[in-house]
């Protein structure tokens, strides 16, 4: 497997190793890439965080994950209703939970009703503190266009175009939920805090790191984006490129067409 990291947008390529010191780490992934989860587990093991926030865990199951981190993978995955809720094979994520032994686990997955409300009425109508993360402010037109294009591509161009703005609002709400949970985790445990999420949420220009920096500018945040594309379009402080997983065959959009 070939992999490398470009540090802080500089033309520096090094082997994957320890991350720079920070208060909050946003570690991105492609959900179906086991190598990305292995990297995240290695970083978590090295960092020894006080808390780990998972995009894939509902808030009410965070305590369950904390109490049962040492359980066999099959039992922990079942307790978290992992694959029942549509996430890839829990066995590929289990190393992250094992690496987080002793840390408090937080969940930031949003329920369908909240996401549907954001799509219909805007993220600001759902969030508890919309101004904290700028959800009550319209996006700049160029950013909105770029985000709609990304949503269109992520859904294989099959969504009706009039739904794209709503999908962007749902994404903004997800980013805010992750950022808010990370800040709560930091306040409650003292940090460092690790966030496990998709690389789209880890982008430093408008994703979770940007929202954390907006709300808590004194905190040091590092974002890591992992991709199987040679030239990922999501800017992060650190970029990791890996080969695609062997399980990924052909065009993933074919199944949706």
pLDDT in tens, 188-239: 999 999 999 999 999 999 999 999 999 999 999 999 999 998 888 889 999 9
Give the pLDDT band of residue 250 (cuts 50, 70, 90): low
Cα separation, 221 vs 37, in Å, equals 20
Q: pLDDT of 194-208, one tens digit each?
A: 999 999 999 999 999
Residue 2 has pLDDT above 60, yes or no: no
| C-beta of residue 29 within 8 angstroms of C-beta of residue 196 | yes
- DSSP-derived pairing of the beta strands 24-27 and 221-227: parallel
192 upstream amide cis, omega within 30 of 0: yes
Confidence of residue 3 (pLDDT cuts 50, 70, 90): very low
Distance CA(57)–CA(105), nearest Å, equals 9
| pLDDT for residue 62 is more than 60 | yes
Contact 106, 181 (CB under 8 A): yes
Please name the helix (run of DSSP H) or strand (run of DSSP E) that holds residue 66, with its range, or none: helix 62-67
Q: What is the pLDDT of residue 158?
A: 87
- Rounded CA gap, 132 and 170, in Å? 17
pLDDT at 257: 60
Report all structural domains of the chain as residue ranges with CATH numbers, in order of start.
4-12+23-246 (3.40.50.11550)
Strands 4-7 and 238-241 come out as antiparallel
What's the sign of the alpha-carbon dihedral 162, 165, 168, 169? negative
Q: How many CB atoms lie within 10 A of CB 154?
A: 12
DSSP type of residue 71: S
Q: Report the alpha-carbon distance of residue 67 to residue 97 in Å, rounded.
A: 11
Q: What is the pTM of this model?
A: 0.92
């Amino acid at each position: 497997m070939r992999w490398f990291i470009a540090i802080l947008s500089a033309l520096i390529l090094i082997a994957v190793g320890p991350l720079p010191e920070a208060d909050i780490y946003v570690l991105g992934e492609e959900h179906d890439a086991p190598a990305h989860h292995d990297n995240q587990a290695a970083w978590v093991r090295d960092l020894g965080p006080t808390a780990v926030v998972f995009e894939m865990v509902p808030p009410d199951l965070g305590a369950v994950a904390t109490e049962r981190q040492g359980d066999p993978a099959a039992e922990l995955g079942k307790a978290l209703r992992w694959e029942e809720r549509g996430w890839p094979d829990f066995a590929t994520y289990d190393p992250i939970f094992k690496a987080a032994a002793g840390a408090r686990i937080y969940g930031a997955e949003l329920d369908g009703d909240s996401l549907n409300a954001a799509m219909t009425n805007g993220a600001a109508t759902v969030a508890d503190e919309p101004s904290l993360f700028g959800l009550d402010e319209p996006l700049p037109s160029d950013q909105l266009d770029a985000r709609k294009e990304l949503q269109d591509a992520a859904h294989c161009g099959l969504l009706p175009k009039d739904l794209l703005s709503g999908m962007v609002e749902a994404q903004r709400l997800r980013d805010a939920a992750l950022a808010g949970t990370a800040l709560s985790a930091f306040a409650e445990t003292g940090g460092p805090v690790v966030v496990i999420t998709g690389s789209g949420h880890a982008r430093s220009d408008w994703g979770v790191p940007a929202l954390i920096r907006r709300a808590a500018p004194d905190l040091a945040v590092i974002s890591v984006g992992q991709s199987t594309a040679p030239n990922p379009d999501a800017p992060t402080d650190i970029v990791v490129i890996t080969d695609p997983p062997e399980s990924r065959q052909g065009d993933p959009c074919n199944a949706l067409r």
